[in-house]
Amino acid sequence: DSGVTQTPKHLITATGQRVTLRCSPRSGDLSVYWYQQSLDQGLQFLIQYYNGEERAKGNILERFSAQQFPDLHSELNLSSLELGDSALYFCASSTHFQGGQTQYFGPGTRLLVL
């Protein structure tokens, strides 16, 4: 158990809908990262937040957005969902924002768009 929690574990929705994924980092970690893992793309970095501020952006679509709240939990919002958005979404956390910090991953949210 990494100490990172994610909810829900599974999510089934329809194309065009909007969903919100939630992540709570390990106790004491200020930085949160979101990743998408699909069969054909592997693990892809989406976005990083540190202490409430966006720090880095990866291959995140404009239909996706995220935020980190004062209690440090983070939410990833996915809108206008398409079939291709079906994937595992992972949250990870680390102590600081500097690159090279070990990231600890949560159990993931499996999203299925029908």
Partner 1 sequence: EDQVTQSPEALRLQEGESSSLNCSYTVSGLRGLFWYRQDPGKGPEFLFTLYSAGEEKEKERLKATLTKKESFLHITAPKPEDSATYLCAGYFSGSARQLTFGSGTQLTVLP
Chain residues in the site for partner 1 (CB under 8 A): 2, 4, 33, 42-45, 48, 56, 58, 88, 90, 99-100, 102-108, 110
Instruction: Please provide residue 15's backbone torsions phi and psi, each rounded to the nearest 5 degrees.
Output: -60, 145
Least distance (Å) between residue 16 CB and partner 1: 26
- Pick the closer one to partner 1 by CB: 18 or 57: 57
- Residue 87 exposed, middle or buried by CB count within 10 Å (0-12, 13-18, 19+): buried
Shortest distance (Å) from residue 103 CB to partner 1? 7
